[in-house]
């Protein structure tokens, strides 16, 4: 690559990284993903459009498409369960990159026979999908489209891999932030439930927690759900209660000394 192209790449990656670092919410995260996609489209040789697809428990979602045509093609791949992005997400090669050199001709037209006509009709002859991440439940791919056949070179693969790595880190961080938020919420709910039991039964914090544990084990209900039931249902006036089955949460017999 030329020094000018190297500088362009560095600038694009720095811009995408800045967007990633400055995100403060889910909306900001989606904006950062969009910036990464746009930077990839502008930087990767031959790319004319792009987007990110995520697959969670078999459900495929289009993220940050650069245009309605990309959204349409992502949706077609999801509906048909066929196309380069599906292959990159579910059956990726060792390097995680799937390239359709020419969707108007074999072997690519034969490899994805139902999807290929949609891409050609939309004006895209080649496509490159690069796997972003795999965490067991969620698989993702950066998808780049070109209006020319055979346009994605080794340099294009390398550049796409760099942008895919950034997008993958962003999605990974967002998922773990969500898990941490849920953990904090669960801790707060359990704390509130312990407070209710401590006040109602004049027990200490450890005894209140053991009451929750015993109730969870006796009813085969997750501890946090027992706590949530206690804080949202028991504390309400009778007329406002949800009508869900009650959970017996009382201290056990005092052990004999």
- List domains and CATH numbers for the chain: 3-177 (3.30.450.40), 180-240 (1.10.10.10)
More confident residue, 105 or 14: 105
Q: Is 219 exposed, middle or buried (0-12, 13-18, 19+ CB in 10 A)?
A: middle
DSSP class per residue in 141-197: EEEEEESSTT---HHHHHHHHHHHHHHHHHHHHHHHHHHHHHHHHHHHHHHHHHHHH
pLDDT in tens, 105-136: 999 999 999 999 999 999 999 999 988 865 55
Give the gyration radius of the chain's Cα atoms: 26
Q: Which residue has the tokens 């108007």?
A: 104
Q: What is the pLDDT of residue 245?
A: 45
pLDDT in tens, 195-235: 888 888 888 888 888 888 888 777 888 777 887 787 876 54
Highest mean pLDDT among 6-10, 17-21, 212-216: 212-216
Tokens of 184: 């904090």
Q: Which residue has the tokens 């889910």?
A: 26
What does the pLDDT average to over 138-155?
A: 88
More confident residue, 110 or 240: 110
Percentage of the chain lying above the pLDDT 90 cut: 23
pTM for the model stands at 0.61
Q: Is 58 exposed, middle or buried (0-12, 13-18, 19+ CB in 10 A)?
A: exposed
Residues in the chain: 257
């Amino acid at each position: 690559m030329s020094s000018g192209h190297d500088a362009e790449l560095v600038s694009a990656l720095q811009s995408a990284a800045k967007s990633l670092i400055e995100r403060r919410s889910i909306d900001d995260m989606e904006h950062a993903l969009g910036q990464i996609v746009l930077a990839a489209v502008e930087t990767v040789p031959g790319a004319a459009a792009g987007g990110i697809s995520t697959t969670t428990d078999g459900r495929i979602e289009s993220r940050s498409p650069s245009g309605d045509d990309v959204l349409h093609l992502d949706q077609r791949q999801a509906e048909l369960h066929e196309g380069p992005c599906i292959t990159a997400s579910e059956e990726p090669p060792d390097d995680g990159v799937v390239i359709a050199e020419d969707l108007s001709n074999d072997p690519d037209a034969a490899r994805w026979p139902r999807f290929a006509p949609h891409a050609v009709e939309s004006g895209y002859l080649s496509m490159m999908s690069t796997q972003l991440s795999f965490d067991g439940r969620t698989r993702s791919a950066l998808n780049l489209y070109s209006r020319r056949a055979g346009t994605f070179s080794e340099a294009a693969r390398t550049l796409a891999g760099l942008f895919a790595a950034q997008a993958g880190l962003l999605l990974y961080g967002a998922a773990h932030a969500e898990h941490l938020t849920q953990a904090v919420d669960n801790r707060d709910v359990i704390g509130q439930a312990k407070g209710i039991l401590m006040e109602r039964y004049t027990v200490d914090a450890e005894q209140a927690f053991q009451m929750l544990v015993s109730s969870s084990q006796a009813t085969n209900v997750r501890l946090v759900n027992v706590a949530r039931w206690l804080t949202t249902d028991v504390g309400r006036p009778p007329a406002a209660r949800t009508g869900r089955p009650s959970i017996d949460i009382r201290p056990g017999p005092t052990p004999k000394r």
